[in-house]
Every structure is written in C-alpha cells, then in structure tokens.
Amino acid sequence: MHNDRMTIRVAVAGASGYAGGEILRLLLGHPRLRSGDLEIGALTAGGNAGSALGTQHPHLLPLANRILQETTPDTLAGHDVVFLGLPHGQSAVIANALPPTTIVIDCGADFRLQNAQDWAQYYGGEHAGTWPYGLPELPGNRERLADASRIAVPGCYPTVSILALRPAMAAGLIEPHVTIVAVSGTSGAGRSPKVDLLAAEVIGSSRAYGVGGVHRHTPEISQALSEAANLPVSVSFTPVLVPTSRGILATCTAKTTASASDVRAVYEKAYADEPFIHLLPEGQLPATGSVIGSNAVTLQVAVDERAGTLVVVGAVDNLAKGTGGAAVQSMNLALGWDETEGLSTVGVAP
Amino acid sequence: MHNDRMTIRVAVAGASGYAGGEILRLLLGHPRLRSGDLEIGALTAGGNAGSALGTQHPHLLPLANRILQETTPDTLAGHDVVFLGLPHGQSAVIANALPPTTIVIDCGADFRLQNAQDWAQYYGGEHAGTWPYGLPELPGNRERLADASRIAVPGCYPTVSILALRPAMAAGLIEPHVTIVAVSGTSGAGRSPKVDLLAAEVIGSSRAYGVGGVHRHTPEISQALSEAANLPVSVSFTPVLVPTSRGILATCTAKTTASASDVRAVYEKAYADEPFIHLLPEGQLPATGSVIGSNAVTLQVAVDERAGTLVVVGAVDNLAKGTGGAAVQSMNLALGWDETEGLSTVGVAP
Amino acid sequence: MHNDRMTIRVAVAGASGYAGGEILRLLLGHPRLRSGDLEIGALTAGGNAGSALGTQHPHLLPLANRILQETTPDTLAGHDVVFLGLPHGQSAVIANALPPTTIVIDCGADFRLQNAQDWAQYYGGEHAGTWPYGLPELPGNRERLADASRIAVPGCYPTVSILALRPAMAAGLIEPHVTIVAVSGTSGAGRSPKVDLLAAEVIGSSRAYGVGGVHRHTPEISQALSEAANLPVSVSFTPVLVPTSRGILATCTAKTTASASDVRAVYEKAYADEPFIHLLPEGQLPATGSVIGSNAVTLQVAVDERAGTLVVVGAVDNLAKGTGGAAVQSMNLALGWDETEGLSTVGVAP
Amino acid sequence: MHNDRMTIRVAVAGASGYAGGEILRLLLGHPRLRSGDLEIGALTAGGNAGSALGTQHPHLLPLANRILQETTPDTLAGHDVVFLGLPHGQSAVIANALPPTTIVIDCGADFRLQNAQDWAQYYGGEHAGTWPYGLPELPGNRERLADASRIAVPGCYPTVSILALRPAMAAGLIEPHVTIVAVSGTSGAGRSPKVDLLAAEVIGSSRAYGVGGVHRHTPEISQALSEAANLPVSVSFTPVLVPTSRGILATCTAKTTASASDVRAVYEKAYADEPFIHLLPEGQLPATGSVIGSNAVTLQVAVDERAGTLVVVGAVDNLAKGTGGAAVQSMNLALGWDETEGLSTVGVAP
C-alpha cells in the first residue's frame, strides 16, 4: 500500500548520532531519491538541535545546510517513514505519538526482545513490546516486514552472530551452547563523549568489556538461536573493542561432530539466495575491512577436528548492515520496493 | 655459576627482527648494563647483515652505529648468552654449534613442544627436541630455568592463554575443553614484507586467521593446560589480527559450575607472589594499551551464570612478556640475577 | 561520438592494485552499469594474473569470481575505455598498441608533465609525451577532456595541492613561492610489500619522506601553479605518511598581503559551480575522514595576519578524487556523460 | 642545595591527566626511586580525586592502589618537588601558596611567555609571569635551571619546532620567516572527553586545527626563534591531528641560500654534545614511532635547491620529551642530579 507513485517522505530522529548519519548516507545514495520517489524530510536531534547537519556530519555534504530540529512528535509528524536513532528507552513515547500507518523503524533496543524478563534484567524498566525484527534473512521475516509499519532493527552484534550461527543451529549440527567473541570498532559505542572512548585511549589498545554475559546483546542473540534450535541455547558472549571506527568480526565457536563438508553444504544452501550474505570460498577469511560501507555479511566456516568444534567467523559493518543498512533494507521491504535498492555489497577498501 | 663478577657478554642472532629488537631494547635498559655486569656483543642478521642497526631499529639510538654481522656459529661464539630470534627450524643448527655452557635462549618454536607428533603436524620436519620452557610462572619452572643453559621462550599467544587458564584448570574448576579467541597486533607476524600485512590492508580492518585449530600455537597451549589438568585438554584457538602494532588480548572461555568468588580466590592465590602477573580489581578489565612495553600480564575473571561459563581475559605485550621480556626474564634466572631486573610492570600509555 | 546507445566496454589494467581496485569500486556503483550502457570487460594484472579478483580485492564481491588476465595489448583490445593502473613508465607501450579511438585513461605519471627535463630529473628515462590532464576543474580542461581519447589522471598530492592554491595564485593574491606539507595514508604508496609500509611499522608513527623537493609530484604541482600565475612558481613540497589507509590533508602556505575576506571571495567564486570542490563554511576545517570514498575535495582558507601568510587546507581521498574518481570523472566527460555520474560527495564516516 | 643525601619527596598535581601520568611513568623508572633518594608523595586531581590511580592510569601498576587527593596547597605542602599538570591558568594560585624553596615544575603554559601582550592575545586574562624555561638545550638554560625553584616546561609543539629551527636561525642561515606544519597524536589535546576526539572520529582521519596562526604555541615558538635570530621571527604554524596517541612530527621550512653541507655542519655542531638531540645520518628521516616513550628528539635537515628552502624535520614524543620528560630532565638539573637520569633515548617500537 506504500508503493504507489506518491513521494515517500522520510524523517530521521537522532540524525546527529552515528546511526542517524549512516541512514542519511545510505538515503543520499538511494536511487529513489534521485528518481523523486523518496524525499528527506525532518532531521531531528536532542542536544544538537539548532545546529547545521554539516557541523555534525561533515561527510554528508549535500545536506550540510540542513538545520536539525528538536526530536518531538510534532517535528516527526507528516512523514511516511520515521527512523529512530535514539537512546534506548526513548523510542516508545515517540512511536506511540505517530499514526499507526507511519512506518517507524527503530534502531534502538526497545522492541527487539520478546521476553519481558530479559528486558528487565538487561535494560531495566518496563518492557515496551515486541516489533517485527528487521533481519529479513530469518525465515518468515521478509513477509512480516512487508506488512509491517513498526520495525525493530537488530543490534549490531546480534546481526552477525545470528547470521553466523543460525544455519548450523537450525540444522542441529552444533550443541546448544555457543561461545561468541566479537571484536568491534568504537562507533558501536555511540557518539557521547567518554574518556575511555577518546582516541588516545583506544588507539594502540584492545580491551574486552561487558565480560561474563552482561552485555545487552546477549539475550537478543540467544532469542534468535533458541528459536532456530527449538530449544534454549545458552550464549557466552564477549565483546572486544579494537582501534577501528567501524566493523565487527565475530568468532563463533560451538561443539560439533559434523564434518566440514556437511557444515559447508548447510551454509551454502542457507544463504544461496541471500543478496547480502556471502559464504566466502574455502580458505578465504572474512575481514571487516572488506565490508566497510557495504551491506554485506561475509562468513567462513571451519571444523576443528582436534577440538571437536565448529568455528564460524563473520564480518559486518556495524553501522551499515549492522544498523543503518538493515534499517534501509527494512524500509525497502515495508514500502514494497526491491530489498537491495540503495544498498551495496561493495565495500570501501583499502 | 654464571653470576660471578665477570662481565656477561650477550649476543643477539636475528637482531633486525622484532624479537631481536625487543631484546635489545630491554637490554639497553637493564641495570646490569650500566653497572658493567652485562655487555652487548655480536648482533647478527640474515639478509640485513652488513647494515647499521640504526637503519633497522631507529628506536635503538645508543646502538645505531653497530653493524649487523652474519648469523653464524663463528660470529656468535665467545658469548655467555646467545638470544636466537630466527625463523622456525633454524635454531637447532646454531645451538648445536655453540658450547653447552653457553646459555642459549631461543625465541623460536623449535624446542617448545614435548610431543614429536605435534611438531610434525604443526611445523613439519623432524622434531629438534625439548628445552626448559621459559615461563617461570609455571610450577617448577623457576628452578629448571636457574639450572638451564638451553631455554625455549614460549609463544606469545600461549604465554597469555596459559597464564589465563592454568589456575582454573589446575584447580579443576573448568571442563577440559577451552575456547580461546585472541586478538593481536601485527608485530607478532614478524617483519617479512607481505601484502596482507601492509598498513593500508590492516588499518581499519579486523580479520581472523588460522581458523579451525590450525594455528601452530594450539598444541603449545594444549600441552601446558593438559599438564595442569593432568588429563588431555582440547583447545579451540582462533587468532584475530587487529590494527595495533603490539599487544594480545585473549578471551578464554570454558564451562564451569564454580562460583565467581571461588574462582577469584583461586586466581588470587595462584598469582599472589608473581611479580608480573596481576589479577585486576573486580570490574576492571585488561587492556593491551596498559601493558605496552611492560612485562606485565593483566587478568580478569568473570563467571557467566546464565551460560555456565568462566571467562578469563588476559592482556600481554606480545613482544615484551610475550617474547623479549620472557627471554630476558629467563636470562636473569639462568644467570642467578633477580628475575625482575631490567623488566617493568609499567606500560607506556596512552 | 562515444555516447551513442551502444554499450561501452571498459577494461582495467592493473586491476589488482589500489588504483585499479578503486576504479572498479566506482564502476560497480555507476548508474550506467545498471542501465546497461556500461560493461566491465577485461581485468588484467602483472604478477597476480591468473588469480580470482576476489582474492585480491575481497571488497568487490560482485566481481569476486572474475579471473585476472595478463596485461597485454591483446587482452586490452576491443574495449572502448581502458584504464591503466600500471607502474610508472609502463603505460606508453600499452597505449601505443591500442587504437587511437580507444579512450585510454592513465593513472600513472607518464603523460602528466609538459617539460621533458622535469621528467628526466624526477623519473629518469625518456619522456613519453603529454596528454590532456584529467583535472576538469582547471580552466579549459573540461573542453579538452570532452574531446580526448588519451587522458593523464593527476597525481594524488597534486590534485589537492593545485585545487587548494590555484585560485589565490591566479588572482595574484600570494607570492609565487609556496610551501606544501601534505599528510597521507599509505595506500598512496601502492600495494607492493615493503618493510617500511608494514602495519607494525606504520601504526603509531608519522614520518616524512622525499624531503627537500625530491618527491616526484613536485614538478607537477609547480607546472599547474606556474600556469595559473603566468610566471614560475617554486614549490617546497614535503609529504608525510600517517597511519591511515586513505586520505590526504594538504596544508598550503604562502606569503600574502590580502585580507581574509578578499581571499574568501576569490575562492567562493572560483568553485561556486564546481560539483566536487567545496569551500567549507568559515571556521570549519577539512578532515580526510569526511571525504573517504567520496569524490569531494574540501577546502578552508585562513589569513594569518601576524605571519603575513595565507594558509589553505585541503582534504581529498587519494584513491577516489585523487586517482580513481578523477579517472571515472574523466571517462564521463570523454564519453559525453554527465561528469558526476557514479561519483558522490558523500563520504563514508565515521 | 637540593642534592644532599636526604630523600626528595615529589608530588604530582593533575596526576590523572596525561602529563601527570607520564611524569609518574618516568619517576617509576627513575634510578633514584630504587635507591631511595626519591619518593613519590601526594598525587592529586580535580574531578577524579577520591579514586584509585589504577582506575585512571592502569599502566602504572605499582601505584594502582594510590588514592588521588584534591589538588590544594595543603595536599601539595611538604614536598621538595611539585609537578603541576593543570589546565592553563590554574598554576599561579597553587605555586604562590607553596614555599619559594619548593621546586615547582609547571607543565602548563602560564609561565612560558615573556610578553604579557602575547599572553593576553592567545590565552586571555592577566599574565602570571615568566619562569626559567625548561628546555635545557637552549644556551644558558642549563645553568638557569640548576638554580631554579620555579620552572616552566615548554609546550610540546614548541619543543620540537624550536630545536629543529634554532641552529639555522642562530647561524643566520635562514630568513626570519618560518613555516611549521606539525602533525600530532591526540594525547596532546588532553584527556577531557570531547566528541571530536572520540576514537571513531579520529581513526582514519587527518585534520588541521588552529589554522591561521591562532594556535597558542605560536608566540612561544616565535619568542625562542626571535631570541636566536636577535630580530623578530614570524612563524606560520599549523597543527594537524592524526590517528596516533603520541608523537609530533614537525616539518619546518624556511628560505635559505645556504648549502646542504653548511647546514649540516651547523646542526652537527649545535647538538654534538646534547644527550637527547640526534641529527640522524644523511638520508634517514625522523619517525615519531622511533621516539615513543623516549626523551630523544630526532632531526633531519635537507636543502631544496629548486625551491630555495631549508626543510628541517623533527620527531618528538609529545608526552615524554614534549612534556613529562622535559619536566623530569628539569627536575634532575634543579636537584643537581645527572640530567639524563631516568630518561632514555630508546623508544618503544614497533
């Protein structure tokens, strides 16, 4: 119903943050913008409201003179699509004030979890609800997203972790206990100034954080893998910050008795028709540097016979496919457009 | 017998490599050099023989005019201590040509493994033998090293992985299957020019390598942990390259039913008297940036009750405690000097 | 004559290098590729011939299975456009073997200089000749390029240096002696493996090279500025390598007695209609991070009254507008297409 | 008078900042600490008072449990040496409250400038005064510092810029107008959290700041060069931030008619006896990566005959010789100790 010939008007709330900036970067390259089917409307912010977008995102030259408005239901009204790039917990109020026909695509965590107890334990406060999950590569999700006017964009770590482990889990090739260690650039931590995210602290250093299962993305990964396995899957998840801006490399390990060729066959089949998920040729390993700016997730699988484990390595750009790309991909689906429009599998490298 | 008042004369073979350079950096700060107990003799190299050390290691200004000699038994003869920083497989020939009383400290892998089959599988060719293992923090090793004139310096990944997991393994707190994902700077890959180690390829990118248990450090880790457990321990080890020069951060995960406080007590006891191994206060996580240039290994432990795992994170400077620092620490022990001389727990940060 | 409705077939020689890879990245996003007006033909290489492009440029997923052919006149024949990304001195032989109607766009230095003595002094050997200079922003160049079937793409440092200084020089606002210090990522040094370009050497370090006017881009900058000034301009040029992959930031200084407002007016006028050259708002300074992957050059001007100097700072992506982007921009002009097709002023940040 | 056998008690105000941390790093390696001649007393801070030093500087393991006190005259009383690492403008109040015999070494800018108008123009407010300048390599300074109980540590950019240009200026080899472009890591910007210093913003990007002669270090450089030339020297200074933590590389250009050999002879003579200033062999260029953690400044000179310029390139660790090292060097002199104690010309590389 959204894909008639009228111009789709899009707003971005939280436009001065990294998620908002990435959505705008992708929209500026979207072919529907040039064709006039798509129009960039209100750009809103919190503390940065009133400033020109060019002072916040100098890489978005075509929008440099746009003035950021306050993030309020009023400034966001009158748009067909509203992207939310807000701090966790702030999306529900805004979304509830928008008409049910407005397509609201939330990059925050508020509507990702199905289990209210998980929400309470990991985020605190009341659970806002559950929206269709903007990972079209999961079974049934493309259809759900095509009908959706409320979409929860997956977390960046879950995106690559779930895509890396789901086929093996669904096929029963691994035990329902997985260990994920994911290295990430620091853009995933957001744009608020903190001493431990200063360049002088980060450059030359690697450090884990959220050790011991306390990272908020843990239940989100577990939720999707448990659904795939049809039984509870425990997830030992450790994120590691490294000195890059973008990019997550997830190393996922689980016990297996399957052969390398069986595993490979399962993954080839699972992603044969996926435009953005690429199982690399044998022996070639994913690197985050190859997916920067791209919507691709690259995967490699290996069986360690000595240790009896399957190791799946996946690379993703946390801001692109890990956030803004998934948001645009979801928008495309919700609008009835080709899912891949404005998205690319070509990275900016070296 | 080595610690009488004569001057100890030290040679470094492979002085233009990263291991050789780091040993020289530490020797230049060694108090015995200033006091005259220690003297830097021959510096040798392969293809770089004939050049001044200052062109290879411009950071070693006091030795800038030293000319690199060829690495031969002749140039290395007449020294009390010979450090070997040679490609794997080249140490035995040199070592065998030196007198048995010369203290030979090998930074290569040749003499680390006890099992000849492991050597054949992971390195190929004939196993050269097994020397005392230059990790003084393992039980009995200090005594062995004090009497040794042949010492095998541990690999960089094994150093931090073994120190991170051994206490829990020896205490029976974890199952004998461990998953280690270790991120590393690229100096660990050595100084040979390769396209995939070029700055333009590495900066902005994280990538795994040696996935599926094929990295050569795997059997070395397994060997030490199996000894601690007194039963075979399987090790799923994945190394990840990140854009730093130095530093390894190892995230080590294993199934446990122990409580956090029990685990903490075991680690506190294990390293209470160790000068270089620091269990950080609760909640503070290791960062490689804090141990650059230092001989410290920093550790943190956490129990993930939901996943039923112990996670131990450890940080080490791969060139310092991970190679050159362990070599100097071993030299100190073999010479009867205080183990900590010339070594520091103070890193260069930020 | 090139813009009739037939499909334009494009070859890239040196496709495994950084320039070749960037041209392919841009071609993959070119709207004429999707519309069928453009087709990617032969991809050739030197030592990498025979390998799949995916092993050389894993970020170019849509071309991953393409096999690199040998760089010969034969493999390059039968194309409408041939991009050359070859080592300096190798372009003439290839170009001469191709029909005069083939549009040959050379990313090497062979045909940039007008003065054979400059060539002899800075590159050695015989001067191959002079082709139209692929910097459309210089007066008269758009017209020349529209008619050209041989085009010399400017060097990366000259691109930003010339664009930064030309307006002031042409307007007579500065003395004909300029000082340029340009910091660059290491992709500009190419993809050949060298010890001093290893990540471990580059990360954490800044270093000058080619100090004292010996860098080969010096006469190219001088040539364009002298033409603008209509008198000889001496150029003191120092390049500095810093730990980034891409991006050049040029700081250009010259004596002036002009006022800040006069300077600003000259630059505003000079670039008012240029799609890719952006004078930033007062007080906002160029950053290479804002132009990564983009074809934009951002500039800022400042007058230092105390020192009596004009300082112009410019940022460019050395591989995009500094090489591959200029090549595609030149192709567009030579084919009669809109100059901006397939090129963007939106960078990938952060 | 300070070098009798009593123990020297040292305080560091601003211990949680980068300057304070570096001073502590160097003091921990000072041989007088081990010998008992030196003792680390009060460590004070502003907002971080009350926290353990280990949470602020985890690389200083031996002091990890020290609790930071408030920065007040009271907490700093009773020490023989007090290092001040405070925001500009805060040093005078503290210094005035300490006895005149206490050696106060200020890492801030408050007492560096001789000209009150320069202070007013660049810093604002009232000029606090002028203290002996902690750059012992300037003529007469060693003697001044030996008698001093108030010392102003030079700025980081001035340190390398002055050392790079002074010999040529004093010898009348260059015109009294110099252009300095200095690239710097971000630790020089201090440890306050700011969005534009976040790792995600800095990594992958180079950017100038303070363009047009407005950087506060400009008059400090001009002051020292004018004194050397005995006439006013105008300085066009542009700082550039690059993605490193530490290190400044200054490229200094000035008009000359001198020959390369004359210039070289002047620099060789000027620094022949300096323990920390190294003119590199011809053809070898300074790199910041070679002086990280070291007190060395490395220099190279080149004459560009075509442009008629002298180019001097210098490298320094902004936190070491550029701040904390100069502070400790000054302390050594003021205490009558050997100037080089606790300081090294050996960098931590790669």
Structural domain total, chain D: 2
Distance (Å, whole) CA B120 – CA C174: 70
Parts of chain C with a pLDDT under 70 = 1-5
Q: What is the pLDDT of residue D235?
A: 98
Looking at chain D from residue 43 to 82, which residues have their Cβ under 8 Å from any Cβ of chain B? 52, 54-55, 57-62, 64
Q: Is residue C215 part of a domain?
A: yes
Distance (Å, whole) CA A307 – CA C222: 63
Chain C residues in contact with A58 (beta carbon < 8 A): 280, 284, 287, 290, 298, 349
Residue from the list D197, D200, D243 with its beta carbon closest to the beta carbon of A187? D200
Q: Is residue B3 part of a domain?
A: no
List CB contacts of A147: < 8 A, sequence separation 6 or more. none
Is C55 in contact with A278 (Cβ distance < 8 A)? no
Nearest CA-CA partner of C176 in C231, C128, C252: C231
In this structure, the number of other CB atoms found within 10 A of the CB of residue C128 comes to: 24
Q: What is the pLDDT of residue B328?
A: 98
Tell me: pLDDT of A326 over 60. yes
Q: Is residue D37 part of a domain?
A: yes
In this structure, the number of other CB atoms found within 10 A of the CB of residue D194 comes to: 13
Q: Convert the pLDDT of each residue in B312-321 to its tens digit.
A: 999 999 999 9
HEC letters along A270-330: HHCCCCCEEECCCCCCCEHHHCCCCCCEEEEEEEECCCCEEEEEEEECCCHHHHHHHHHHH
Q: What is the pLDDT of residue B4?
A: 53
Q: Is residue A129 part of a domain?
A: yes
Residues D74 and D221 in one domain: no
Which candidate in B184, B194, B198, B241 is best for mutational testing of the C interface (most C CBs within 10 A)?
Answer: B198
Q: Are the CB atoms for C118 and C213 separated by under 8 Å? A: no
Residues A178 and A298 in one domain: yes
Is A207 in contact with B244 (Cβ distance < 8 A)? no
Amino acid residing at C69: Q
* Region A204-230 average pLDDT: 97
* Region D42-68 average pLDDT: 98
Residues A26 and A142 in one domain: yes
Smallest Cα distance from A158 to chain D, Å:
21
Chain B residues in contact with D349 (beta carbon < 8 A): 21, 25, 57-59, 245
Residues D201 and D301 in one domain: yes
* Region D135-143 average pLDDT: 98
Is C202 in contact with B203 (Cβ distance < 8 A)? yes
Residue from the list A64, A204, A281 with its beta carbon closest to the beta carbon of C204? A204
Q: Convert the pLDDT of each residue in B31-68 to its tens digit.
A: 999 999 999 999 999 999 999 999 999 999 999 999 99
Tell me: pLDDT of A6 over 90. no
In which order are the strands placed within the sheet that holds C69-70?
C69-70, C38-45, C8-13, C81-84, C103-106, C150-152
Residue from the list B29, B64, B345 with its beta carbon closest to the beta carbon of D62? B345
Residue from the list D193, D201, D244 with its beta carbon closest to the beta carbon of A195? D193
Range of the domain at A287: 157-316
Q: What angle do CA B317, D348, B85 make, to 5 degrees?
A: 65
Is B245 in contact with C199 (Cβ distance < 8 A)? yes
Is D286 in contact with C246 (Cβ distance < 8 A)? no
Q: Are the CB atoms for A299 and A313 separated by under 8 Å? A: yes
CATH code where residue A74 lies: 3.40.50.720
Distance (Å, whole) CA D340 – CA D142: 13
* Coil vs helix vs strand at C293: coil
Chain A residues in contact with D193 (beta carbon < 8 A): 193-195, 197-198
Would you name the residues of D annotated as active-site residues? 156
Residues B275 and B165 in one domain: yes
Residues C162 and C308 in one domain: yes
Nearest CA-CA partner of C221 in D259, D307, D249: D307
Chain A residues in contact with B286 (beta carbon < 8 A): 207-208
In this structure, the number of other CB atoms found within 10 A of the CB of residue D195 comes to: 14
Nearest CA-CA partner of D86 in D140, D138, D11: D11
* Coil vs helix vs strand at C249: strand
Distance (Å, whole) CA D51 – CA D58: 12
Tell me: pLDDT of D95 over 80. yes
CA distances from B48 to B44, B55, C178, C209 (A): 8, 10, 40, 22
Tell me: pLDDT of D3 over 80. no
Percent of chain D with pLDDT over 70: 99
Smallest Cα distance from D253 to chain C, Å:
7
Residues B105 and B88 in one domain: yes
* Region A186-196 average pLDDT: 96
Is B247 in contact with A209 (Cβ distance < 8 A)? no
Q: Does C198 touch chain B if contact means CB atoms closer than 8 Å?
A: yes
Q: Does D287 touch chain B if contact means CB atoms closer than 8 Å?
A: yes
Is B28 in contact with D61 (Cβ distance < 8 A)? no
Smallest Cα distance from B204 to chain C, Å:
8
Residues B33 and B124 in one domain: yes
Q: Is residue A214 part of a domain?
A: yes
pLDDT in tens, chain B (350 residues): 454 568 999 999 999 999 999 999 999 999 999 999 999 999 999 999 999 999 999 999 999 999 999 999 999 999 999 999 999 889 999 999 999 999 999 999 999 999 999 999 999 989 999 999 999 999 999 999 999 999 999 999 999 999 999 999 999 999 999 999 999 999 999 999 999 999 999 999 999 999 999 999 999 999 999 999 999 999 999 999 999 999 999 999 999 999 999 999 999 999 999 999 999 999 999 999 999 999 999 999 999 999 999 999 999 999 999 999 999 999 999 999 999 999 999 999 99
Active site residue A107: no
Looking at chain A from residue 289 to 348, which residues have their Cβ under 8 Å from any Cβ of chain B? 289-290, 292, 300, 302-309, 311, 313, 315
Is C305 in contact with D213 (Cβ distance < 8 A)? yes
Residues A35 and A112 in one domain: yes
Distance (Å, whole) CA D178 – CA D165: 9
Residues B180 and B270 in one domain: yes
Q: Is residue D135 part of a domain?
A: yes
Residue of D nearest to C182 (CA): D181
Q: Is residue D53 part of a domain?
A: yes
Instruction: Please tell me which chains touch C, using 3 or more CB pairs under 8 Å as the contact test.
Output: A, B, D
The two tokens of residue A265 are 């066959």
Residues D35 and D163 in one domain: no
List CB contacts of D291: < 8 A, sequence separation 6 or more. B59, D247, D297, D298, D315, D316, D317, D320, D321, D347
Distance (Å, whole) CA B339 – CA B328: 8
Distance (Å, whole) CA B166 – CA B172: 10
Q: Are the CB atoms for A34 and C35 separated by under 8 Å? A: no
Residue of D nearest to C232 (CA): D307
Q: What is the pLDDT of residue C6?
A: 87
Residue from the list B187, B189, B203 with its beta carbon closest to the beta carbon of C243? B203
Element (H, E) at A242: none
A336: left (phi over 0), alpha (psi -120 to 50) or beta: left
Instruction: Using CB atoms within 10 Å of the CB of residue A35, give its burial: 0 to 12 exposed, 13 to 18 middle, 19+ buried.
Output: exposed
Is D199 in contact with A243 (Cβ distance < 8 A)? yes
Q: What is the pLDDT of residue A4?
A: 53
Residue of D nearest to A191 (CA): D195
Looking at chain A from residue 200 to 259, which residues have their Cβ under 8 Å from any Cβ of chain C? 203-204, 245-246
Is C251 in contact with D208 (Cβ distance < 8 A)? yes
What dihedral angle (degrees, nearest 10) is formed by the CA atoms of A73, A76, A79, A83?
-110
* Coil vs helix vs strand at C290: helix
Averaged pLDDT of chain D: 97
Q: Is residue D240 part of a domain?
A: yes
Which candidate in D198, D246, D288 is best for mutational testing of the A interface (most A CBs within 10 A)?
Answer: D198
Smallest Cα distance from C34 to chain A, Å:
11
Residues C123 and C164 in one domain: no
CATH code where residue C271 lies: 3.30.360.10
Catalytic residue from among C45, C98, C128, C156: C156
Is A287 in contact with B209 (Cβ distance < 8 A)? no
